[in-house]
Amino acid sequence: MAAYESHIDEQQRREIHAVAEEHADTRMGHINSTASGGGVAEILVSVVPLLNDVGVDTDWQVMDADDEFFEVTKTIHNGLQGGQTELTEDMRETYRSVTIENAEALDERYDVLVLHDPQTLGMAPTLAERFPETALVWRCHIDLTDATPAYLEFVQSYLDPIDRAVFTLPEYGEAITGVEIDTIYPSIDPLTEKNRPIEELSGDAAEAADLERFPFDTDRPLIVQVSRFDPWKDPLGVIEAYRDVSASIPDAQLALVGAMPDDDPEGVEVYREVEAEAGDDPDIHLLTNLPDAGINGLQWGADLVLQKSLREGFALTVSEALWKETPVVGANVGGIPLQIEDGENGYLIEPRDIESTADRVVRLLEDDQLRRRLGENGRETVREQFLTPRQVLDYLTLLSAAEG
Ligand code: UDP
């Protein structure tokens, strides 16, 4: 925790230590489905060591499962977001047997056990039988608002032994019944290569973060969106808004930054569409597969960041940019309005509203002082609410609720 102390205020530090002290004898476990890759692993990598550091014995275990199981859980994930593929008897059986095997193999006893996402939820009934004293928490990182009913029923059928469920926003879990719902916002880690000050990077990371090595002109205005190539992130809308902006600010440049997903055919298709839409405009840059330090450099170096999503979970990219004192023009969806206060650290626009998006972007690009003020406010927003220590405090508070 000492490494984070320059990023948190005295009151938060004291609160963390006080609640942690109440749980000096608590054993906490987390189970998820992968040790790396994906947002859940990223959160656990930061949060688990910190919980141990403040004195709460916290363990992280990863499920043992094969591709067949993950095919099934991907279908479940999609169904919970509105996908219509049928969940067959065979698929249910694969899910059931693998989750039971994992629950039977667990050889540690915890006071509070957090099962992350639908992959691990099936372990709950067996765990409840084996460890009746353990409080079981389901941390669902998915928004269930538009879940297909069959998938919602499937999840609901495993919730009986669950004591509490945790969602990113309370409304994401409104459709489930019979469990207490808590909310924990995600957070960003200020000590990682993605979020540290650029001056602290060295070697390859410093080189990757150096804006001079990117193909645009660093003396001209730069608008950046960092997002997977996904229709819900509205990359085509970003280009449309950028074209409107260019009419008033002809030297503006746009960078669309996203991973090129080799294993995601939809992502490749969206990338091709974006490429076609960008055409031969020399001021639209599609940048793929950048290392974290490269993302860091762009989020610091951009004059403003766009997050023009049509739908969002939380949008970590917003906090990442705000932390770097870069104002964000973001859509009023999902977790974005939690992070952006209109006119204070950026602007909120209605999804699909190209005209307002362009208007807010022009307003910012034309006013250095406004950008600076909003940028400074943005860093404060993130410091207060969206850094890892706050999430650690939320998990400690969850322990109190689960044990209470
Ligand atoms: N990201 C990245 N490289 C990319 C695009 C995205 O590292 O090319 C990161 C981004 O910095 C953020 C995460 O992926 O940390 C995306 O999280 P977010 O909550 O914004 O969106 P999601 O992809 O989960 O919908």
Query: Distances from the Cα of 299 to the Cαs of 14, 65, 95, 214, 333, in angstroms?
Result: 31, 37, 40, 13, 21
Q: How far is the CA of 163 from the centre of ligand 1 (A)?
A: 31
Instruction: Give pLDDT, residue 263.
Output: 59
Phi, psi dihedral angles at 381 (to 5 degrees): -55, -45
Ligand 1 atom having least distance to the Cα of 289: 8
Q: For atom 17 of ligand 1, which residue has the closest CA?
A: 316
- Dihedral of the alpha carbons of 311, 315, 319, 322, in degrees to the nearest 10: -40
Q: Is 58 helix (H, G, I), strand (E, B) or coil?
A: strand
d(CA 174, ligand 1 centre) in Å: 26
DSSP structure class, residue 342: B
Query: Which residue type occupies 293?
Result: A
Q: Check residue 262 and give its pLDDT.
A: 62
135-179 tens-digit pLDDT = 999 999 999 999 999 999 999 999 999 999 999 999 999 999 999
Look at the alpha carbons of 150, 152, 158, 161 in this order and tell me if their dihedral is positive or negative. Answer: negative
**Residue 36 pLDDT:** 81
Residue bearing tokens 């019944």 = 177
259 alpha carbon – ligand 1 mean position (Å): 8
- Ligand 1 centre and the CA of 226: distance in Å? 7
CB-based contacts of 337, cutoff 8 Å, min separation 6: 330, 348
Tell me, what's the pLDDT at 261?
Answer: 60
DSSP 139-192: E--S--TT--HHHHHHHHTT-TT-SEEEESSGGGGTT--SSEEEE----B-TTS
Residues contacting ligand 1 via CB (< 6 Å): 39, 226-228, 257-259, 290, 295, 313-317, 320
SS3 content of the chain, % helix, strand, coil (to 5): 50, 15, 35
Q: Give CA–CA dist 36/49, Å, rounded.
A: 15
Q: Which of 274, 317, 339, 386 to mutate to test the pocket of ligand 1 (most atoms within 8 A of CB)?
A: 317
- Copy the structure tokens of residue 192: 């990682």
Which residue has the least CA distance to atom 21 on ligand 1? Answer: 315
Q: Please report the atom of ligand 1 found closest to the CA of residue 317.
A: 20
pLDDT in tens, 332-364: 999 999 999 999 999 999 999 999 999 999 999
Residue 235 Cα, ligand 1 centroid: separation in angstroms? 14
The residue whose C-alpha atom lies closest to atom 5 belonging to ligand 1 is 258
* β-bridge pairing 304-307 and 57-62: unpaired
Sheet holding 57-62, edge to edge: 57-62, 27-32, 112-116, 135-139, 164-167, 180-183
How far apart CA 27 and CA 109 sit, in angstroms, is 8
Q: Give the distance (Å) from ligand 1 centre to CA of residue 261.
A: 12
Residue spans of the chain under pLDDT 70: 261-264
Question: Measured from the CA of 233, which atom of ligand 1 is nearest?
Answer: 25
10 Å Cβ neighbour count for 366?
12
pLDDT at 186: 94
| Burial class of residue 270, CB neighbours in 10 A (0-12, 13-18, 19+) | buried
CA distance 346 to 363: 11
